[in-house]
Structure 1
Amino acid sequence: MAINDFITSTLNLEPNQILTFDSSVKDNKLYLFVTLKDSHPNCPFCGCKTKSKGYTKRSYNHLTMGGMPSIIVWKRRRYSCKFCDKSFVEDNPFGPEAFHQTYALLRNVAIELSNVHYSFKDIALRNNISSTLVELYCDSFIQVPRLQLPENLGIDEIHSSMAKYGGSYLCAFVDNNKRCLNELLPDRSKRTLSRHLETIPLSERKRVKYVTIDMWEPYKDVALKYFPNCEVAVDPFHVVKNLTDGFARIRIDIMNHSVKGSPTYYLLKTWNKLLLSDYELDNEPKYNSFFKQKMNYRQLYDALLGINPNLTLAYQLKEMYRKFNKEATEYNCEEWLNQIIQAFKIAHLYCYENFITLLENWKSEILNSFKRPYENRKQSNALAENINQKLNTLITVSNGLSNFDRFRCRSIYCLNSNILYSLTSNIQTYNKRKGKPRGKYKKTDGFMDE
């Protein structure tokens, strides 16, 4: 029957355990009144027979039902031993002894903690408990030890006010093969990274074969020092971003030196996207109100490249590197990159001076990014960037967080399927940030004079 299924699925009971069951609605809350059958237990102290000694009432917050919070009101039977005269109560099937929430509600809280789109307050409102209680259960049910380092490690950072030791960024370790978060550190400095990696056995660090990073120098130094068997690869996205920043510099300079409202200014201001991304240029012509004629992307593109020869040269060099980034392989990338570096040097464009230095300083790491050791994928930090977005989502929906230890545990729990929750009655919490101690004061009798 439906009522039997309901009892079994939500109350953690079999139908034959129920003696009486009733329900009522009061103050927009559903109350479930339950009494269990007498199981005639033996005394847990001496093993002798017992007798009933009346009832005591116990209430538990339960799951939301029909849009209303539900509360289980249990008439709990008390027993007295006929031999030793000691008292005890019947076994509890609803929830842990020290809790006022059922197993079903605690399980629901633990599951919702794995959703980065829910803040502690959201989870509290959905389960009709306090935010403080959700934080307490998060600290107690989710325990995240240090995980083993992966073979293919990605390192990236995320901006946060939780960063320690005077920094502004947290450091994230990502398993590029299993595609999950591996570790979260309170700072991205070389000191913090070194201190963490020094606690890891050398045999485990030797397992790391590939490390992908952005162009933060301490990541490279630490990787080469603590991972003796690794190859460091720089994320291609950050290289291309530095390139496009250089091209934007010359485009903006030419635009700012032109007359505002002129065709040059209009083209560089409005249609610069044609020089930054790949468009189908031979589209259907549309009326352009500035030039007062129909034009397609091809005509606008040609007009842009006709503005200044240095802009055209800068664009050609940019497209040369983009083609290299898309089409080069592990076997031809070195010779191809040498030709590109030479072409950039011959051009003598001021906007690419920093980019040329970047190519020379990070040459081996750029070449390593073209290797495809796993699933035919180039080495990149794309997964780390994706995980950073999810971490930012968790920070955003929470309107800021201050407890790093709690954030670390919940983040890894959300973004690593190997971390599971464990319902336990051993309650603990991470210490809050210590404030300044209160100074000495003198007690006074009565009210102060106005």
Structure 2
Amino acid sequence: CACGKRFAENNSFVERYQRTSIEWNQAVAIRAIKGKTFKETAENYGSSATTIVRRFDQISSSEIRPVEELPAIIAIDEYKGDTKEGKYQLIIADAVTKEPLDILPNRYKRTIKDYLRRHGSKVQMVIMDMSPSFKAAVQEALGRPVIIADRFHFCRYIYWALDGVRRRVQKDFHAYDRKKCKRMKHVFHKENSRLTEEERWYLDRYLKMSTELQKAYELKEAYQDWFKRSKEIGATQIERVKKELKAIYKLVKNSGIPEMCRAIGTFENWQTEILNSFAYGYSNGFLEGINNSTKVLKRNAFGFRSYERFRAKILLTHKYKRIGVHIG
């Protein structure tokens, strides 16, 4: 103007004291969460990596609220984070909504117990893998909640036992058959009714070469039949499921196969928790999916040294997984 004074023009697309537009800030905020790396986001938006990290930290401090009370049914599982806090962290999720709630810096019994004592007054059920330290922490913190063993984790004990028998007996095979049997190990795990002609041919070949391997395979098939039936009737006929499980125990013990007997010993120690998985129908499958996406985040970013930032990245990525990035 004629007087020579300066004034700032009011722009609806830029907030006061800011040099970047509202749309740019919003896009950067989402991309900082959903992008592979902070450096890549900075290059895409013409900024520096430190600026993107600073924006991300601001978002995480405002968007991630501390947990006050855990819900009645929770699922817990570990994942390999490799942060400054430790090699493994523990993720806690709502087993009903399948939303991750919090991530603990390590998987130590004391850490889990202290956290559950502070926030777990309403917890009635806990779904977890067959970790003695997890079980002890949950029981000491919450008294006697319903503990549910994840189906994937107890099923694999049977498959591990079958693998152990296969590895032991194939040592006596001819070199060709020993190598081929090893390559076809997935065939032993597969349901018999789903085998292809080629797979069935190889299976029959190696089962005929060892009566002990054949017996172990038959026990695995008996277990699979019990498992499928238990999923169908467990919610209403849990006593029948228990009775049939004890029949499996008897079959295994009568076989005298050491690897299978050890697996059944684990089942006996965790019988209540295993039966609970059929009675209530909950599993940690969704949490394994979250952990798989966590591995991708970690690999894309070449690792996170900061536990807090990795925790925020996991929680916010899941929170905004259905939101895209649009400018304008």
User: Is the CA contact (8 Å cut-off) linking 2:84 and 2:305 kept in structure 1?
Assistant: no
Letter in 2 for 1:350: P
User: 2:162 is matched with which residue?
Assistant: 247
Between the aligned partners of 2:90 and 2:128, the Cα distance in structure 1 is 11
Matched, 1:133 2:54: no
Is 1:155 the counterpart of 2:76? The answer is yes
Q: Could you tell me how far apart the structure 1 residues matched to 2:3 and 2:319 are?
A: 49
Distance 2:14 2:194 in 1: 66
Change (3 A) 1:335 1:305: same
CA distance in structure 2 between the aligned counterparts of 1:245 and 1:251, rounded to whole angstroms: 10
**Structure 2 partner of 1:168:** 87
Q: 2:103 matched to 1:184?
A: yes
Distance 1:99 1:371 in 2: 57
In structure 2, list runs of 5 or more residues that go unmatched: 324-328
The residue number in structure 2 matching 1:291 is none
Match of 2:291 in 1: 388
Asked if structure 2 preserves the Cα contact closer than 8 Å seen for 1:236 and 1:325, the reply is no
Tell me if structure 2 keeps the 8 A contact 1:281–1:297.
Answer: no
d(CA) in 2 for partners of 1:141, 1:298 = 56
Q: Which residue of 1 aligns with 2:136?
A: 221
Aligned counterparts, 1:19-418, within 5 A: 53-55=4-6, 78=7, 89-91=8-10, 93-115=12-34, 118-143=36-61, 144-147=64-67, 148-162=69-83, 164=85, 167-200=86-119, 205-228=120-143, 230-261=145-176, 264-265=177-178, 267-278=180-191, 296-328=198-230, 329-330=233-234, 331=237, 332-372=240-280, 378-416=281-319
Secondary structure at 1:156 match in 2: strand
**CA spacing shift, 1:145–1:312, aligned 2, 3 Å:** same
Q: How many residues align?
A: 314
Deviation at 1:392, TM superposition (A): 1.2
Contact kept in structure 2, 1:154 and 1:176, CA below 8 Å: yes
CA distance in 1, matches of 2:126, 2:258: 32
| 1:416–1:227 CA distance, 2 compared to 1 (3 A) | farther
Q: What is the CA–CA distance in structure 1 between the aligned matches of 2:195 and 2:78, rounded to whole Å? A: 41
Write the distance in 2 (CA, Å) between the matches of 1:283 and 1:162.
45
Q: What CA distance in whole angstroms lies between the structure 1 residues aligned with 2:200 and 2:116?
A: 54
Given that residues 121 and 142 in structure 2 are in contact (C-alpha distance below 8 angstroms), is that contact kept between their aligned partners in structure 1? Answer: yes
| Structure-2 separation of matches of 1:408 and 1:380 | 23
Compute the displacement of 1:173 (Å): 0.4
Residue 177 of structure 1 deviates from its aligned partner by 1.3
In the alignment, is the contact (CA less than 8 A) between 2:170 and 2:181 conserved in 1? yes
For residues 151 and 71 of structure 2, the distance between their equivalents in structure 1, rounded to whole angstroms, comes to 21
Q: Which has the higher strand share?
A: 1
Contact 1:151 1:208 in 2 (8 A): yes
Amino acid at match of 2:188: L
Pairwise CA distance, 1:281: 6.6
Amino acid at match of 1:273: H
CA distance in 2, matches of 1:93, 1:123: 25
Q: Which amino acid aligns with 2:190?
A: S
Aligned in 2, Cα 1:281/1:219: closer, same or farther, shift over 3 Å?
closer
Please state how far the C-alpha of 1:255 moved relative to its aligned partner: 1.4
Task: Measure, in 1, the Cα distance between the counterparts of 2:196 and 2:314.
Answer: 46
Higher mean C-alpha deviation, range 326-335 or range 184-193: 326-335
TM-score scaled by structure 1? 0.64
Change (3 A) 1:298 1:139: closer
Structure number having the greater helix percentage: 2
Deviation (angstroms), 1:140 = 0.9
Cα offset, 1:124, TM superposition: 1.3
1:132-173 Cα distance to aligned partner (Å, 9 max, x none): 111101111222122341222110011122152xx4201000
**Residues 90 and 269 from structure 1, CA distance in 2 versus in 1: closer, same or farther, beyond 3 angstroms?**
closer
SS at match of 2:82: coil
Higher relative contact order (CA closer than 8 Å, sequence separation 6+): 2
Offset from partner CA, 1:33-60 (integer Å, 9 cap, x none): xxxxx9xxxxxxxxxxxx97544xxxxx
Q: Which runs of 5+ in 1 are unaligned?
A: 1-37, 39-50, 56-77, 79-88, 285-295, 373-377, 421-450
Which string of whole-angstrom CA distances, capped at 9 and with x for unpartnered residues, describes residues 90-109 of structure 1? Answer: 54534344443221111001
Percent identity (aligned): 23
Give the 3 Å change call, closer, same or farther, for CA 280–354 of structure 1 in structure 2. Answer: closer
The verdict on how the C-alpha distance between 1:95 and 1:228 changes in structure 2, with shifts beyond 3 A counting, is farther
Instruction: Provide closer, same or farther for how the CA distance between residues 52 and 140 of structure 1 changes in structure 2, counting only shifts above 3 A.
Output: farther
Secondary structure at the aligned position of 1:159 is classed as strand
C-alpha distance in 2 between matches for 1:52 and 1:324? 91
Structure number, greater radius of gyration? 1
SS in 1 for 2:123: coil
Aligned partners of 1:342, 1:395: CA distance in 2, in Å? 45
The Cα of 1:258 is off from its aligned counterpart by 2.0
Letter in 2 for 1:129: S
Superposed CA RMSD: 2.6
Query: How has the CA–CA distance of structure 1 residues 157 and 53 changed in structure 2, closer, same or farther, with 3 Å as cutoff?
Result: farther
